[in-house]
Structure 1
Amino acid sequence: MPKGRIVGVVAIIAVLAGFAWLAIFGMNNSTTNLPSALIGKPFPEFDLTAVGQPSKRITKEAILGKPAVVNVWATWCRECLHELPTLSRLSKQGVPIYGVNYKDLDSETIQKWMTEYEHPYVINISDPKGTLSLALGVYGAPETFLIDKKGIIRYKLIGLITEENWSTVLAPIYQELLNE
């Protein structure tokens, strides 16, 4: 094989190996800390109903006034179920948690889920068409947002809230919002 051809093959292999290395090790592979264009922007306007109370309208004004956690959840989401103990503990400690029920259409299933599992939501917003979730840039459930007292989105977490990520990431941000 001519020397030029060997150099070409080696170069191609080196480039492919470089791409493979970047894909595996070099790029930020976190799916829980994806950037959001909404950080620093106001929470989207909405006019939806409360879960289980179709005559009760909820708007953005209902979630303003103090720093809070906005948690996007669904009955079909297994991780949402796993994060409930942490969210319930935080709620009992006085952290306001607003739920956004993402694309659940069966009100009977929602009510069964709400009755069967202790839910931590001060307000629970029904988003059956996903309009609010779409405006928030939600990929799926669970996703969680920290908002300040004016409703500015300060942080977005994709995936479930755990004791660890609450204490190491979310709690310090939440405390800063309380101190503002």
Structure 2
Amino acid sequence: MTRLNQTTPPKASKARAPRRYFIFFAVFASIFILFFLALQKGDPSSLPSVLIDKPVPAFSLPAHPEIGFDGFDASDFKQGDLSLLNIWASWCVPCRQEHPILMSLARSGVSIYGLNYKDTPQAATRFLTGLGNPYQKIGMDQDGRAAISFGVYGVPETFVIDGRGKILHRHIGPLTQEFIAETLFPMLGVVND
């Protein structure tokens, strides 16, 4: 009877398995910590934009005269007054949240242009009929191309544009009273008591 040479696996391979898991866990934990720390820096509603201090990109949004939308283009922002470009949609819940703030700004004389993003004219009309229309002009961006030229991540987003058509600030997410008091009013030269 021949005896087969039975070999046992080396003990070193058993010792490597826990070390591999430890290295994997350490790498994963390091990435998680870096990601967490990156999220803690700054205000997520003011993500940087390559367009700050640059002219409004060239775009033209069509009119829908049958439902009262005028349409507008980049030249509308070169009329000498600071204005807002608000990107919104009727299907956007945060857009409803910020709408009373937009109405208040419009009543106080701030020029607001509405870029209606990937929406239908009928849905946009129902939204504005129910909540009010704060916009000086509204352009339909049904394919999203104009929004892409602004680097929009989603709706709502608002750009503050000076009277020469230069982008001064970008606000991501719904407008807040804090943004109005701390950022917009100083840009408008409004003293907030």
1:50 touches 1:123 (CA, 8 Å); kept in 2? no
Which residue does the alignment assign to 2:168? 154
1:31 to partner: Cα distance: 3.4
TM (norm. structure 1) is: 0.82
Distance 1:33 1:125 in 2: 24
Distance 1:53 1:88, change over 3 A: closer
Q: Which residue of 2 aligns with 1:173?
A: 187
Moved more, 167-176 or 137-146: 167-176
TM (normalized to structure 2)? 0.77
Q: Would the aligned equivalents of 1:99 and 1:123 in 2 still touch at CA under 8 Å?
A: yes
The amino acid across from 1:39 in the alignment is I
Paired letter, 1:77: C
How many aligned residue pairs are there?
A: 172
* Greater radius of gyration (CA): 2
Moved over 6 A (4+): 4-9
SS in 2 for 1:101: strand
Matched, 1:114 2:124: no
Moved more, 8-17 or 136-145: 8-17
The residue that corresponds to 2:115 in the other structure is 100
Percent of aligned pairs with the same amino acid: 34
Tell me, yes or no, if structure 1 residue 84 matches structure 2 residue 99.
yes
Cα RMSD between the aligned structures? 2.5
Gaps of at least 5 residues in structure 1 are: none
Counterparts of 1:120 and 1:82 in 2: how far apart (Å)? 14
Q: Quote the Cα distance in structure 2 between the aligned partners of 1:57 and 1:158.
A: 23
SS in 1 for 2:45: coil
Post-superposition Cα deviations, 1:85-118, rounded to whole Å, max 9, x if no partner, equal 111111111111111111112x222221121111
Work out the CA distance in 2 between the residues paired with 1:50 and 1:174.
29
